[in-house]
Amino acid sequence: MIKFLRLSCLVIPVTGALLAAAACSGPNPSSSESAPSDTDGASIGLSLDLASGVTIDSATYTITGPGGFTRSATIDLSTSTALSVVIGGIPAGTGYSISVATTSTDGLVSCAGSASFNVTAHTTTAVTVHLSCHEAPRTGSVQVNGGANVCPVIDSAGASPAEALVGTGVHLSGAAHDADSGPSALKYAWTATSGVFDSASAQNPLFTCTAPGTVNITLTVTDGDPSPTCSDNLSVIVTCDPPPPQPYSWVVLGSGGAAIARVVTPDASCPSITVDGVSQAMNVRVAAGTVPVRTSSATPVKPSAFPVTTCELTLPSGASRATVLGHDLPLPKANPQKIVIIGDTGCRLKTGNPWQACSDTTQWPFQKIADAAAAMHPDLVLHVGDYHYRENACPPDQTGCQGSPWSYGFDAWEADLFRPAESLMEAAPWIMVRGNHEECLRAGQGWFRFLDTRPYAEDHSCNSPANDDLANYNDPYAVPVGGDTQVIVFDTSKAGATPLNPLNATDAPIFNRYQAELKQAGDLASNPNVFSIFANHHPLLAYTPVAGGNPTGGISSLLSVMSTTYPNTYFPPNIGLAMHGHVHDFQAVDYSTNNPPAFVAGMGGDNLDPVLPDPFPLSVSPAAGVVPDMVAHDNVFGFMTMERTGSTWVYKAYRLDGSVMTSCTLSAADKLSCTNTGYLH
Ligand SMILES: [Fe+2]
């Protein structure tokens, strides 16, 4: 085997020593010959100096000469490191030629050459053969056909006016050009961090502010070029201002079903109200003012600003019409047929919690829920607590809540409750249960200004910590629903997560207060002919989901008081049903033990809680001695209704899209049965 040093061949003059060596150890040609030979001792010496990079195993040669001489042979080079051969027995004469050919072992290089020589008798003639070597082609080529497109350029993106009130419009204008007018006509697309467009693909759409704050509106123009880098973008900033404080009016039902007309107004004085044709001034419940914030959970804190006057008037029983601010107030019906139940409705802005996109009605759908519930024309609304959720400022990197009001003043209350719930507050009187978000260290100041049904007083304002023991614990009251049903409203806003020990000096006052309130609830429910619904914020014998694990039961502090006061039943006698919120899901729970069935309706708009286990582990008791035998649940946005059908109530859980999750009824033996149970997905 011989390796070429380069792709050319040299002939080295043949020496006697080389020829001798070559004759003894050189390649061993095999030959064929024609024509007469003259063995007159004449020969040629052929020697090639070969290079690395190409390997050959053999070479062939053909000698032709005078008199028709022809000799061909193949030289075996497989064991050789150099080509050196003497070819003898060639008749003396002139006009010989030799041609040599070889191919590398990998077949990629072919070499060939020839030379002329004469042969002299008894002499070895050196012959030079130049080989021309050619590599086989290794590469091909491609033909690239290119095309060019000139990308579009936005010339301007404008907004007029650049500042607008929430709910009002801004005219947007876009202008762009495309130098080569292709490949397609220009397309315009507008996006915004909040707000809505009448047509986001129009060149000049109308934009409407939906939430206060700075809105980044971006115009993108494309010319049909599929390259994502070919489009052009330009942004314009629009400032959406909160609408000026506006009056809101509603009716809240207090103790004994007293219908209390309420108005909040930016005016310093209260409007007049006309009841059955008689006009009178509403009373100032609390004047506008700014009070020091009570909590340090919001950082930075700011004072609670209430630039509105809260007005009220308790309507006479049996009033048939009440008009304020130019429209009729919803008055209580003598025998309500349909009650909407909602809970946990605000938009969560709190450090340490996921930030809810308050400007996105998909992610915070309370207004949709309120509108859907209002469209059902309820006679009564029961809110099971937690109205206010906007405690901390929306961080700069959270686009979904930019510009939201925060902390505990009126602006946050307006955004979380009064504005989104306007249609539902116009539809029916409300029963308002207090949630833990409305305890004094949180939104308690607004609770007493706006929603609580008792007279406003300094010791029931949450303004001073000295009065928290009074303001955070309030006596229950009953709201009749026709002659056969009532809702007992129970304040658990400050209830803690650990059991209360009546022998502990710190726990004892709270234990005793809750025990007294429970007994009052028992007194309110003393008539066995009235179906009594116990409505409080925290689940008691219902469940709290634990992500990835078994759920836990209700609020431990209350349960410790209840189990002591009413062993086994936990509730006073004659309580037929319990209604809660706080856990952000829907639950219907019944028991084989003697406990009133429970509903949870905490899916009214705030971020939902993790789903309860599926299948639900009925072996998990919500409280000692309580054995569940039916659970229906789902963690989707929606609301509940209870509607009279014949002599009983039908309880339905609705999803936001109007579909019914389950429909439940109570038997005469107080057994809850639902059309769908378990996980209602
Ligand atoms: Fe809550």
Please write the tens of the pLDDT for every residue from 400-426.
998 899 999 999 999 999 999 999 999
Does residue 2 carry a pLDDT above 70?
no
Ligand 1 center to 300 CA (angstroms): 23
Query: What is the share, in percent, of the chain residues with pLDDT greater than 70?
Result: 91
Ligand 1 center to 125 CA (angstroms): 114
pLDDT of residue 6: 35
Categorize the per-residue pLDDT at 54 as very low, low, confident or very high, splitting at 50, 70 and 90: low
Ligand 1 center to 96 CA (angstroms): 113
Ligand 1 center to 389 CA (angstroms): 10
Ligand 1 center to 388 CA (angstroms): 10
Does residue 14 carry a pLDDT above 50?
no
Ligand 1 center to 39 CA (angstroms): 121
Burial string for 265-280 (b: 16+ CB within 10 Å, else e) reads beeeebbebebeeeee
pLDDT of residue 294: 85
Ligand 1 center to 88 CA (angstroms): 113
CA-to-CA distance for 673 and 605, rounded, in angstroms? 27
Collect all residues with Cβ–Cβ distance below 8 Å to 214 and sequence separation of at least 6: 237, 238, 239, 240, 402, 403
Among 9-23, 184-198, 399-413, 570-584, which range has the highest average pLDDT?
570-584
Ligand 1 center to 671 CA (angstroms): 28
Distances in Å between the Cα of 189 and the Cα atoms of 156, 225, 237, 254, 439 are 14, 15, 16, 52, 47
Ligand 1 center to 536 CA (angstroms): 10
pLDDT of residue 13: 34
Consecutive H or E run containing 373: helix 366-374
pLDDT of residue 8: 34
Ligand 1 center to 605 CA (angstroms): 12
The owner of tokens 């706080």 is 582
SS3 label, residue 330:
coil
- Decide: 674 and 625 in contact? Cβ < 8 Å: no
Please identify every residue whose CB atom is under 5 Å from ligand 1, which is an ion: 386, 435-436, 582
Ligand 1 center to 390 CA (angstroms): 13
Ligand 1 center to 303 CA (angstroms): 23
Ligand 1 center to 387 CA (angstroms): 9
Ligand 1 center to 480 CA (angstroms): 25
- DSSP per residue, 413-454: HIIIIITTTHHHHHHS-EEE---GGGSTTTTHHHIIIII--S
Mean pLDDT, rounded, for 337-363: 96
Ligand 1 center to 433 CA (angstroms): 11
Ligand 1 center to 600 CA (angstroms): 11
Ligand 1 center to 384 CA (angstroms): 9
The owner of tokens 């260290």 is 441
Ligand 1 center to 422 CA (angstroms): 22
Q: Which domains does the chain have, with CATH numbers?
A: 2-135 (2.60.40.10), 153-241 (2.60.40.1080), 248-679 (3.60.21.10)
Ligand 1 center to 661 CA (angstroms): 23
Ligand 1 center to 109 CA (angstroms): 86
Report the Cα–Cα distance between both ends of the chain, in Å, rounded.
79
Mean pLDDT, rounded, for 233-251: 89
Mean pLDDT, rounded, for 177-195: 93
pLDDT of residue 139: 81
CA-to-CA distance for 504 and 560, rounded, in angstroms? 13
Q: Between residues 155 and 58, which one has the greater pLDDT?
A: 155
pLDDT of residue 106: 82
Residue 380's beta-bridge partner residues? 339
Ligand 1 center to 435 CA (angstroms): 5
Ligand 1 center to 381 CA (angstroms): 18
Ligand 1 center to 201 CA (angstroms): 42
In terms of phi and psi (left: phi > 0; alpha: psi -120 to 50; beta: otherwise), the region of 93 is: left
Ligand 1 center to 564 CA (angstroms): 24
Q: What angle do CA 568, 569, 570 make, to 5 degrees?
A: 95
Mean pLDDT, rounded, for 510-516: 98
SS3 label, residue 247:
coil
Ligand 1 center to 537 CA (angstroms): 7
Ligand 1 center to 68 CA (angstroms): 117
Ligand 1 center to 233 CA (angstroms): 44
CA-to-CA distance for 388 and 145, rounded, in angstroms? 65
- DSSP per residue, 452-490: --SPPBTTBSS--GGGHHHHT----EEEEETTTEEEEE-
CA-to-CA distance for 282 and 29, rounded, in angstroms? 129
Ligand 1 center to 607 CA (angstroms): 12
Does residue 26 carry a pLDDT above 70?
no
Ligand 1 center to 543 CA (angstroms): 13
Ligand 1 center to 493 CA (angstroms): 8
Ligand 1 center to 386 CA (angstroms): 5
Q: What is the DSSP letter of 390?
A: B
Query: What is the share, in percent, of the chain residues with pLDDT greater than 90?
Result: 74
CA-to-CA distance for 531 and 178, rounded, in angstroms? 74
State the chain's mean pLDDT as an integer: 90
Ligand 1 center to 538 CA (angstroms): 7
Q: What is the pLDDT of residues 542-554, one digit of tens each?
A: 999 999 899 999 9
- DSSP strand E in 127-231: where? 132-135, 153-160, 163-165, 169-177, 187-192, 196-197, 206-208, 213-222
pTM: 0.71
Q: Between residues 670 and 448, which one has the greater pLDDT?
A: 448
Burial string for 619-646 (b: 16+ CB within 10 Å, else e) reads ebebbeebebebbbbbbbbbbbbbbbee
Ligand 1 center to 491 CA (angstroms): 12
Ligand 1 center to 588 CA (angstroms): 18
CA-to-CA distance for 653 and 636, rounded, in angstroms? 10
Ligand 1 center to 582 CA (angstroms): 4
Backbone angles phi, psi at 304, to 5 degrees: -85, 105
Ligand 1 center to 345 CA (angstroms): 10
Consecutive H or E run containing 291: strand 289-291
Ligand 1 center to 242 CA (angstroms): 28
Does residue 50 carry a pLDDT above 70?
no
Ligand 1 center to 498 CA (angstroms): 16
Categorize the per-residue pLDDT at 277 as very low, low, confident or very high, splitting at 50, 70 and 90: very high
CA-nearest of 453, 353, 367, 462 to 416 is: 367
